[in-house]
Chain A
Amino acid sequence: MKRRDFVKYAGGGIASLIVGSAMPSWISKNPLLATTTKQVDELNFTITDAVKEMATHNSINKAQCYFWFYKEKTFPAEVPGPHIFTTAGNTVKVTLTNSLDEPHAFYISGMVDSGPIRPGETKTIEFTPQTAGSYLYYDNLNAPVNRVMGLHGALVVMPSKAVSGHRFTPYSNPTPSVQQLFDDFGSTEHFPGLAWEQGDDATHTPAFRQYVWVLHEASSRLFEEVGKYTPGKDYPAAQFMKAFQYDRYRPDGLNKKPEFFTINGHSGWFAAHNPYITPNHRVGEPVVVRILNAGLSMHSLHIHANHVYRIGVNGVVQENPIWMDTLTVDPLEIYEWAVPYIRPPDVPNERGIGLPDNPLMSIPNPRIVGSTPHPVWPPTEELNIHMPDIGEKDGDYDLAVQLSPICYPMHDHSEASQSSQGGNYGLGMMSGIHFIGDRNTPGGVTTFPNAPTYHGPEKSGGAAGPEMGMDGSHTMTSNTTNTNARTQIINNPINTDPVKNEHQLHGN
């Protein structure tokens, strides 16, 4: 399998809308946004319902969940509603038709409130966001029922320009410390590479790299009950809250507490391998992530490989942006992260003070055939291990997988959300942070073997930059599957377990 053919996801089910007459500079060269995005002058939403197949599934168990959602006219149905991007000062016009049986609304705290839209009614509203930031749009009626049933989505407002004499930040009025951070990206010894606003056509690197994570929890049994409630009557909010948060424990899991935990409506493998949720970038390509909790539970998001700066908290640009690896997100909270995308700092290097020093030189590993001293970063031996070996098949499929393509997870450490349908660890609220190369390697930009890109090579040409050979040399990328020599492993002298893909029958 080629890990770079993410294009098959066709946006991975993440729809985005750009509102405004002119394509703004911050979007025009960003294929992450542009390929999944429609540019419109106004939004046309229908408030409707759907049954969605969730991540846990098979022919025995359909894992279906009922939702209400904002259906955009031209996109396929999806919960949550599309990401909406606009520029501060643009007027956003939204036409809403309520096709459900109770009154619904469109609301953004401090910005716009449609008021109740009766069943069958169509209403048009306009608003003009003045302050750049991340916002949750949702139905605030019968709170929190209508929002939690799925009527929510993200609005991203970008600044129209950078502060004079400075680099772009995601804000209209950044604090000095946040401005300094974005000024330093790409221009200092500790943040070599690109500024946030900088892209690089030669390596297919977009400018203004940014991601939106809308967090949510769903309870299939409770949501179905809401869907079957007397038409025209609101399901009592207190009853909803009580069932969602306090329903009595049952060992079979069949109570009304939430059992699906999603980011942008996706979870587990489906979110972590979605390039519109999980960033795929090189060292030296800083990223902004916007986190919005549309649900009713606290989450504790832990990102691996890089500490991130918490630059925005509920619309307040931070005076003291903490550098953290785990973020508390309570219901309705909104955060922005600046992910520096530095080389993972604890890769051994000369001074060991977190700066991108020369990597240490390895020693020959007698268990790896042909192992010779080489710099430990980029990790050539690690990138060339496949497990199981290439050629090992399951039916028609070659199961060989690059063991460690320098992909890391981001997951909720408040672990109840890491399950799906009460079991199935690894199918819950998670995404990732993937490193596809390094802009700061000697000789220029490096792209790791089999690195994923947002576009497949059939669309973008060779994956960004020269690929790295096993000996650390750089070779030009071709459009074919990488054929670098692979690390051979001598049987482990300590442990007799053969190196193979072992299917465990038991999970604990």
Chain B
Amino acid sequence: MSSSKPGYQIPRRSVKGHEASWVKSFNPPKASPPTPELLAPTNPVPAFVAANIPGASMLIPNTQRVDLMHGTDLKTWDGKKLEFFLIANPDVPEAAEGIFPGPTIRVPRGVVFHGQVKGHGQPPHTVHWHGIEPTAMNDGVGHCSMEIGDYAYQWQPNHIGSYFYHCHRNTLQHFEYGLYGFLIIEPPDAYDPKDGKNVGGYPRRTAANLTNFPKFPGFIGGSLESGDPHAMTVPYDVEALWVIDDIDSVWREQAQDAHQTFPEHGDQPGVNDDFHFNDSGKYNFFAFNDYNPDYFVVTGEYFPGRVGGTATMRSGVTVPAAYNSGVEGMQVSINAKINQTVLVRMLCAAYVKIKITFPVDVVVIACDGRSFGVPPFGKYNHPYTLKAGTPFEMSTAQRCDVLFRTEKPMNTFAQVEYRHHLSDAFLLNGRIPIIVK
């Protein structure tokens, strides 16, 4: 027995009778259809942004605009230029040409959200609101519905927590190229001026069940069914956003010539499809499966270090209000005061795996936009303490929210260890400053 004289031949399955499915699964239709089951949008955030961010406007009432841009070169920490696809918000001047990562979109729970998404450049796009679970057309996956010229995605967020949004066309490439941003679902009254002075600042609230963690003040219990917008939420004074990403500079440069990442169907679909369309001449990149990152970045801020090393992010990095739905003061590297409640929202946007280690005990309150212990759906689980120094593993697209509060000042780091997804080889130790005074 050997590969030249095998015991068996295993043929490919027939697709007879399913030829039309081919169209969507291979190269989905590009379309700009109307939004079915249309509702009037009720999201108050675009109006708040228009009123509070200098120069901002609101072209479409109560509608978040998302433009998907093409071909912008950005410099990394050592000056190397890499090509990005960026997400823009044309209603906000500072974000109108696109930023990396895309603007953080905050939405109160229970409103009708409209995201008016427009693709720029030649390829079509989609937006998938990762963790949000609407109907399939509004889920934004090309292969399950359509890819868009433009389209108004419609959904109503039902669970407070941490999400993100990204292009789901050729995700392998478009997500890596930077077409993603963070998405935060907040309590229903987070943008209600009646809530007082903190619409555009802190403290804010997020969902949790902290019945067994009295060290965090201000937790309100009760039930969601009661209609209390603050039921099962806790206030936090400081918010840090860690969108943990990696970049393979070689892969990215080569992939610019990867003009054949979708198979084409032939005139007899399922019979004479061309899986290697244009597989000759200059467009001959076929190594999308071989991903080896050499740049490491958190919320757009690079760890200045090489593979195999340790690198520390600068302290004092914050996210401007123009990139954060009008909320001023969101942090990346952490600066807090003693006895403040600090919320760290983490997203693994890296294709490799990461291990995060905190220098203090933290309480894990939520994963993937679902808060532990919040009934009815969370009654099967509960928040738990992650002891200082214990690595917490995350893989691509997972989110995790942790809280900490300390009575002692500290000047220290959280550590992000990157390891290769295939070989488990060590790649980098990134350190994020945490200063508590």
**Residue pair A348, B10 in contact (C-beta under 8 Å):** no
A50 CB contact (under 8 Å) in B6, B110, B154: B6
If A188-B376, A401-B21, A492-B34 touch, whether A395 touches B267 (CB-CB below 8 Å) is yes
| Residues in B whose Cβ lies below 8 Å from that of A9 | 13
| Residues in B whose Cβ lies below 8 Å from that of A60 | 274-276, 279
| Residues in B whose Cβ lies below 8 Å from that of A35 | none
Interface-central residue, A1, A190, A424, by most chain B CB under 10 Å? A424
Q: Is A351 an interface residue (CB 8 A)?
A: yes
| Residues in A whose Cβ lies below 8 Å from that of B17 | 1, 5, 8
- The CA of A365 and the CA of B114, in the complex, are separated in Å by 14
If A354-B159, A368-B34, A408-B139 touch, whether A347 touches B394 (CB-CB below 8 Å) is no
**Residue pair A404, B144 in contact (C-beta under 8 Å):** yes
Q: Which of B198-206, B251-259, B296-304, B311-319 participates in binding chain A?
A: B251-259
**Residue pair A259, B19 in contact (C-beta under 8 Å):** no
| Residues in B whose Cβ lies below 8 Å from that of A354 | 158-159, 224, 377
**Residue pair B6, A49 in contact (C-beta under 8 Å):** yes
- The CA of A406 and the CA of B32, in the complex, are separated in Å by 18
The total number of A-B Cβ pairs within 8 Å is 480
Question: Taking CB as reference atom, which chain A residue is nearest B364?
Answer: A322
B12 CB contact (under 8 Å) in A57, A321, A489: A57
If A304-B141, A345-B159, A388-B29 touch, whether A423 touches B276 (CB-CB below 8 Å) is yes
| Residues in A whose Cβ lies below 8 Å from that of B157 | 346, 352
Q: Which of B44-52, B169-177, B401-409 participates in binding chain A?
A: B169-177
B31 CB contact (under 8 Å) in A223, A309, A326, A387: A387
**Residue pair B171, A425 in contact (C-beta under 8 Å):** yes
Give min CB distance, B429 to chain A, whole Å. 19
**Residue pair A353, B225 in contact (C-beta under 8 Å):** yes
- The CA of A332 and the CA of B65, in the complex, are separated in Å by 43
Give min CB distance, B156 to chain A, whole Å. 4
A51 CB contact (under 8 Å) in B6, B268, B284: B6
| Residues in B whose Cβ lies below 8 Å from that of A227 | 2-4, 6
Interface-central residue, A58, A309, A355, by most chain B CB under 10 Å? A58
Question: Taking CB as reference atom, which chain B residue is nearest A269?
Answer: B25
Q: Is A281 an interface residue (CB 8 A)?
A: no
- The CA of A154 and the CA of B178, in the complex, are separated in Å by 38
A8 CB contact (under 8 Å) in B16, B149, B269, B290: B16
Q: Is B73 an interface residue (CB 8 A)?
A: no
**Residue pair A346, B18 in contact (C-beta under 8 Å):** no
| Residues in B whose Cβ lies below 8 Å from that of A140 | none
Q: Is B235 an interface residue (CB 8 A)?
A: no
If A385-B33, A504-B124 touch, whether A305 touches B368 (CB-CB below 8 Å) is no
Q: Is B432 an interface residue (CB 8 A)?
A: no
Q: Is A73 an interface residue (CB 8 A)?
A: no
If A51-B6, A507-B170 touch, whether A421 touches B139 (CB-CB below 8 Å) is no
| Residues in A whose Cβ lies below 8 Å from that of B424 | 298
Q: Is B396 an interface residue (CB 8 A)?
A: yes
| Residues in A whose Cβ lies below 8 Å from that of B34 | 365, 367-368, 489-490, 492
- The CA of A382 and the CA of B35, in the complex, are separated in Å by 8
Give min CB distance, B394 to chain A, whole Å. 7
- Which interface class (under 10, 10 to 19, 20 to 34, 35 or more) fits A? 35 or more
Give min CB distance, B49 to chain A, whole Å. 21
Q: Which of A24-32, A249-257, A475-483 participates in binding chain B?
A: A249-257
If A354-B158, A427-B263 touch, whether A48 touches B21 (CB-CB below 8 Å) is no
B288 CB contact (under 8 Å) in A296, A377, A394, A425: A425
| Residues in A whose Cβ lies below 8 Å from that of B279 | 60-61
- The CA of A432 and the CA of B139, in the complex, are separated in Å by 13
- The CA of A384 and the CA of B250, in the complex, are separated in Å by 45
- The CA of A321 and the CA of B111, in the complex, are separated in Å by 29
Using a CB-CB cutoff of 8 Å, which residues 132-168 of chain B contact chain A?
A: 132-137, 139, 141, 143-146, 149-150, 154-159
A58 CB contact (under 8 Å) in B19, B139, B149, B275: B275
**Residue pair B136, A347 in contact (C-beta under 8 Å):** no
Q: Is B359 an interface residue (CB 8 A)?
A: no
**Residue pair B132, A346 in contact (C-beta under 8 Å):** yes
Q: Is B369 an interface residue (CB 8 A)?
A: yes
B259 CB contact (under 8 Å) in A246, A266, A506: A506
New A-B pairs, 17, CB < 8 Å, besides A66-B3, A418-B171: A51-B3, A61-B279, A254-B286, A269-B26, A307-B131, A322-B367, A322-B372, A328-B395, A362-B38, A363-B40, A364-B38, A379-B137, A381-B36, A400-B20, A413-B397, A416-B289, A423-B276
17 A-B residue pairs with Cβ-Cβ distance under 8 Å, sorted by A, are A1-B19, A49-B7, A71-B8, A251-B284, A257-B289, A273-B25, A300-B353, A322-B372, A353-B224, A377-B135, A408-B141, A408-B144, A414-B353, A416-B291, A418-B171, A494-B150, A508-B256
Closest 9 CB pairs of A and B: A227-B3, A352-B110, A507-B261, A422-B286, A381-B36, A300-B395, A253-B286, A367-B34, A245-B423
